[in-house]
Amino acid sequence: MINFNQMIDNFLKRERKPKGIGKYYPSEIGMCLRKIWYSYKFPQEVEPTMLKIFEMGNMIHDFVVEVLKSEKNPHVELLKSEFPFKVKVDDFVISGRIDDLILLKTNGTKLLVEVKSTGDVGYINEPSPHNVAQLQLYLHFLKIENGILLYVDKRNLQSRVFNIKYDEKIANKTIDRFKKLHKHLVSNTLPDPEGRIFPEMNWMCRFCEYRDKCYKATPANVLP
What domains lie within the chain, and their CATH numbers?
19-188+202-217 (3.90.320.10)
pLDDT of residue 222: 66
Q: For residue 129, what are the contacts with CB-CB under 8 A and spacing of at least 6? A: 30, 200
pLDDT of residue 58: 92
pLDDT of residue 174: 97
Q: Is the dihedral of CA 97, 102, 108, 111 positive or negative?
A: negative
Q: For residue 47, what are the contacts with CB-CB under 8 A and spacing of at least 6? A: 209
3-state secondary structure of 83: strand
Do you know the residue count of the chain? Answer: 224
Pick out the chain residues at pLDDT < 70.
15-16, 222, 224
Q: What are phi and psi of 148, to 5 degrees?
A: -135, 145
pLDDT of residue 170: 96
Single out the residue of 217, 202, 213 nearest to residue 32, CA to CA. Answer: 202
